[in-house]
Structure 1
Amino acid sequence: MNIPCDIKLVVVDLDDTLLDSKGKISKATRTVMRQVSSKGIIVILATGRMTPCVEPFVDDLGIDCPVVVYNGAMVRDMRSAGRKILFHKTLESRFSDIVIDYCIKNNLCLNFYLDDIVYSQKNPDLKKFQRLYSKRTGARYVLVDDLMVFSGKRPTKLIIITDIQHRDVFRTRDYQFEYFSQLFDGQVQLFRTDPEYLEIQHRNTDKGIGVHIYAEKCKIKRNQIIAFGNGENDIAMLKYAGIGVAVKNASEIVKKHADIIAQWSNNEDCVARILKQYIL
């Protein structure tokens, strides 16, 4: 496939796309991303992570990137623009209250994101899930005695963290996905991201909407955008971009929505190779 020569916006997912399996940006990828930025092309990092967990990668790249965070529920401008919030759509409390009550009653680990802080219940049974999430993302929890203190509040998003496998299927992510899919019946956005995570947010939020918000601000057309991703939460932005690239390690459902299925994985500098081949 031919890529237009007037690409003005490069959008890149973080985990398992830009980052290798150790959660790092390689030297080769860092170099290419800086070269792309030096040509006046805007680079956006688009991720399910919260803002504070993206900033270290902005530092590592050495590029003033706008960010699409929380799977598109929030869009922030460049640092030079004060990281101004350009878009923020929160989950209605009538849904979050149901999830809070459910997780407390069933002793499930719930992340509640409010004002760029992640809260969770103080409970010895949940520590292993909180440690897993912190190790993977660098997030620092604020633990509370009772998540019911957030009743009536609108979070940016929620994540239920479960076991990947369990003798009781109820305690798995895919069971929870089916349960909440039926319960909410399209009234919220559900994403299965990491094998342990079920992410719940406003029905009108995704990475595609987030990219659209920033592209409109800069008057950039869809055919001037290239996006890279690997997971289900990347599908909307791959479809929105003029060129959607699925890395080799992307799930099969993601590959069905991509314009290009790369021959390289996130451990083989896929993003850098594609950009170097078609843009630099």
Structure 2
Amino acid sequence: MYKLITSDMDETLLSDAKKITPKTEAAIKRATAAGVHFVPNTGRSFLSIQDNLIQMGLSQKEDQYVISYNGGAIIENKENKVLQVNGLPYEIVNQLFEIGMNEKACIHVYTVDELYIWNMNQNEKDYLDGRVDGWKLMRENNIKFLQDTPITKIIFNIANEAGRLSMRDYVESHVDFALNITFSSDRYIEFNDPTADKGRGTMALAKKLGIKPSEVIAIGDNSNDLPMIKAAGLGVSVANGRDFVKAEADYITQADNNHDAIAEVINKFIFNEEE
């Protein structure tokens, strides 16, 4: 029996309209009422999904959790208690920030509880609207003010895939640090500490809860979801997932993120019901 479901947020749990559909909401509530943990597993901050937690009935609940920043932090929902942080060294973030500035990329720098953005543009504002609120605009061309603050992740918004791949190659050849480099939402290249990925975060939480890897379902759509899809007993790609994610998945949903993919997984693998 599966005891823990962990799911990516954007383009997986959330529709393109940035919503959890009513059918998916009902399925999640049914699963958690049956004792299954439902754990959002996002590249974003746990603070950015509080409204989603309220909708799912998981907000401010003991023994319910969120994995944030691609595994950079594990949070218990009750009082948003930070249980684990796997941050990046400041010197490495500073080097990445300078690379991003030179490319004039829109840069996001995440601490445990803040998001700072450099070189914001209208396209990025439109994408973040309804997903992320309360970010802070950086006006200086440096991050010295963060040198004593744990940094969980830094990402660049690069519009085209070729540009993101080129940036990955450049960083790998110029930064002397074993970064965890992933992609998300077909717009971001993301940089985490090598100890932080969605799979490690999932397995650390499962161990804490006494849950075996074989009892975990992981659902996603893009490269930053691959570690948890590979680590889980059942790795799932939603129908709108990238082809390389589908290739690694044990199951591919019939439905996409706009048509209750998460409900499909819950009904099929938790309650043994076919759609």
Q: TM-score, normalised by structure 2?
A: 0.89
Match of 2:113 in 1: 116
CA distance 1:220–1:36, shift in 2 (3 Å): same
- Tell whether the 8 Å contact from 2:87 to 2:152 is kept in structure 1 after alignment: yes
AA aligned opposite 1:134: L
CA distance 1:186–1:254, shift in 2 (3 Å): farther
CA shift digits 1:194-247 (9 cap, x unpaired): 222111110111011111111111111111111111111111111111111111
Q: SS of 2:15's equivalent?
A: coil
AA aligned opposite 2:212: K
Q: Which residues of 2 match residues 170-189 of structure 1 at below 5 A?
A: 172-184=163-175, 187-189=178-180
Match of 1:236 in 2: 227
Match of 2:71 in 1: 72
User: What is the aligned counterpart of 1:158 among 121, 130, 154?
Assistant: 154
Match of 1:277 in 2: 268
CA distance 1:95–1:132, shift in 2 (3 Å): farther
CA distance 1:151–1:25, shift in 2 (3 Å): closer
- Tell whether the 8 Å contact from 1:70 to 1:157 is kept in structure 2 after alignment: yes
Q: Do structure 1's residue 220 and structure 2's residue 235 form an aligned pair?
A: no
- Tell whether the 8 Å contact from 1:157 to 1:201 is kept in structure 2 after alignment: yes
Q: SS of 1:28's equivalent?
A: helix
Percent identity for Structure 1 against Structure 2: 26
Q: Is there any run of 5+ residues in structure 1 with no aligned partner, and where?
A: 1-5
Whole-angstrom distance in 1 between the partners of 2:112 and 2:75: 13
RMSD, matched Cα: 2.0
Q: SS of 1:267's equivalent?
A: coil
Aligned residue pair count: 265
User: What is the aligned counterpart of 2:30 among 17, 35, 39?
Assistant: 35
Q: Is there any run of 5+ residues in structure 2 with no aligned partner, and where?
A: none
Whole-angstrom distance in 2 between the partners of 1:144 and 1:271: 36
Whole-angstrom distance in 2 between the partners of 1:179 and 1:136: 32
Displacement, 1:177?
A: 2.0
Whole-angstrom distance in 1 between the partners of 2:90 and 2:101: 16
Q: SS of 2:151's equivalent?
A: coil
Q: Which residues of 2 match residues 60-209 of structure 1 at below 5 A?
A: 60-63=55-58, 64=61, 65-79=64-78, 82-121=79-118, 126-128=120-122, 130-135=124-129, 137-148=131-142, 149-150=144-145, 152-153=147-148, 154-164=150-160, 172-184=163-175, 187-209=178-200
Whole-angstrom distance in 1 between the partners of 2:266 and 2:201: 22
- Tell whether the 8 Å contact from 1:7 to 1:223 is kept in structure 2 after alignment: yes
